Structure 1
Amino acid sequence: MLMLFGARLGLWAPTTGFGFYRTYLNPIGAVIAVMGLLTLSMHLKRKEKGGVFAGGVAVIIGMACLAPMIAGAINPPVRAAPIHDISTDTTNPPAFEVLDENREGARNSLKYGGPELAKVQSAAYPDIVPLATELPADAAYQKALKVAHEMGWEVVGSNTERRRFEAVARTPVFYFADDIVIVVTPQGDGSRVDMRSVSRVGRSDRGVNAKRILSFQKQFRG
């Protein structure tokens, strides 16, 4: 539990907790499961119900620790594109103005990767497109802010006149931080909402930023 939630408790950086998880979870799970099986067998022979129960619990805990490895071996996950910067507008991606290269724990730059990144994103996530809405730009901006708060993001800077804001979202387990910028522009009688989500660490985001954008758009439409 400490490996999973230590960063949220302020014990270490998210990368440290994730490193502990990758290095130690499987060995710990194997040791607990084996010791549980030995205990279970011993107490079954002795017909000691309390010991049988304790051994069974240990086996369950050990197998729970090993579950991610077992699931990955049975059904290997699809490898995500090696990118961590996703934008609904790859031609003119929203720029960060409040968040900068000095943000805590950041190893990735906020500078957009250009046409090469856009090409990889288009192939990996063709469904990531700007959100068109019939709402006037001001109303769409306020709704975008509301959705951001509902999704638990920390809004770190907003500009009502320019209809843009920046925020930080964190993953629920290891507490990795991703940086977000949203810009709303008038479009005919309605408006257009563009969003960009960037991970602070890691070459690949394992699809997290794309899922976040799609979740935001779904909640906005709802």
Structure 2
Amino acid sequence: MKHLGKIALLVAVIGAGGAALMIFGARLGLWEPITGFGLYRSYFNPLAMIVAGLGLFALVLHLIRKEKAAAVLGGLAALVGVALLVPMISSTLNPPVRAAPINDITTDTANPPAFLVLDDTRPGARTSLVYAGAKVAEAQAAAYPDIAPLETELNAAAAYARALAVANAMGWEIIAEDAENHRFEATARTSVFYFADDVVVVVTEQDSGSRVDMRSVSRVGRSDQGVNAARIRAFQQQF
């Protein structure tokens, strides 16, 4: 039992590494994002509890035995476990607001920008790029009433160039550019789990400048947890 602190710390290190792989494995090309998310939902919390429990047990045992160095190792392991438990504790104390069950957000629900290059064969896609119509539009209006077209005094060419620059600054992968028609398509990735969302931006010339419309669609999931609306807001803010 004198080595329990070392064992607990080793388990904590391995556990932290496993947790990181669940979250960032897709970014490393190990699996599809949905696989990492599934691993997270199934194993993250049990893993965290094992690490925290073993670390705490080692800490108490070595304190009782007056083995200070080993107790420190157990304490470090317990801290790693508690850190891994933070997401579960946080969601328990402050349950997240349930997001609207939609994954296709656009600034123009009456005439949503269409994808001309990206299609339903894009890698890992479990959703369609065909707009679902009035039902989705009504749900979006109720959940995200602030999402609207971006009006700018720039002419269409200048607004298109600026929109493209903002997309690049936000780290999107530009899939297709059409400067003549002032439109481009791109893929954006979430920082956690590396989920892919597809985006189309269209700039329309107007008498007093131009209008920038966009649409952001998740590849998987019935609900996007508000990510697409947040992306549109961030894009417009940076523009």
- 1:11 maps to a residue whose letter is L
Q: Which amino acid aligns with 2:197?
A: D
Q: 2:43 aligns with which of 21, 24, 29?
A: 24
Partner of 2:112: 93
Counterpart position of 2:137: 118
Cα distance, 1:207 vs structure 2: 0.2
Amino acid at match of 2:135: E
AA aligned to 1:87 is: T
State the match for 2:208 in structure 1: 189
Give the SS at the match of 1:191: strand
C-alpha distance in 2, partners of 1:153/1:31? Answer: 38
CA apart distance, 1:69: 1.1
Displacement of 1:14 in angstroms is 0.4
- Residues in 1 aligned to 2:39 and 2:167: alpha-carbon distance in whole angstroms: 31
Which of 68, 77, 84 lines up with 1:65 in the alignment? 84
Q: Deviations over 1:101-139 (max 9, x none)?
A: 110000000000111110000000000000001111110
Counterpart of 1:179 in structure 2 is 198
The yes-or-no answer on 1:205 pairing with 2:224 is yes
Shift of 1:86: 0.1
Question: Is the partner of 2:199 in helix, strand or coil?
Answer: strand
2:169 maps to which residue? 150
Partners of 1:188 and 1:61 in 2: how far apart? 59
Q: Equivalences for 1:31-50 in 2 at 5 Å? A: 31-50=50-69
Q: What percent identity do the matched residue pairs reach? A: 64
Distance in 2 of aligned mates of 1:128 and 1:56: 48
Following TM superposition, by how much is the alpha carbon of 1:187 offset from its aligned partner in structure 2, in angstroms?
1.6
Q: What SS does the corresponding residue of 2:71 show, helix, strand or coil?
A: helix
Alpha-carbon distance, 1:176 to partner: 0.5
SS of equivalent residue, structure 2 residue 188? strand
**SS of aligned partner of 1:123:** helix
Deviation string, structure 1 residues 167-208 (Cα, Å, up to 9, x no partner): 000011201000000000012221100010000000000000
**What TM-score do you get using the length of structure 1 for normalisation?**
0.97
Paired amino acid for 1:139:
A
| Aligned-partner residue type, residue 195 of structure 2 | F
Q: CA-atom RMSD, angstroms? A: 0.7
Is 1:3 the equivalent of 2:30? no
Equivalent residues in 2 for 1:131-170 (5 A)? 131-170=150-189
Gaps of 5+ in 1: none
Unaligned runs of 5+ in 2: 1-19
| Equivalent-residue separation in structure 2 for 1:88 and 1:151 (angstroms) | 18
Instruction: Give the whole-Å Cα distance in 1 for the aligned partners of 2:72 and 2:65.
Output: 13
The DSSP-based 3-state class of the residue aligned with 1:141 is helix
In the TM superposition, residue 63 of structure 1 has moved relative to its aligned partner by 1.2
Normalised to the residue count of structure 2, the TM-score between the two structures is: 0.91
2:13 is aligned to none
Q: What secondary structure is seen at the aligned counterpart in 1 of 2:177?
A: strand
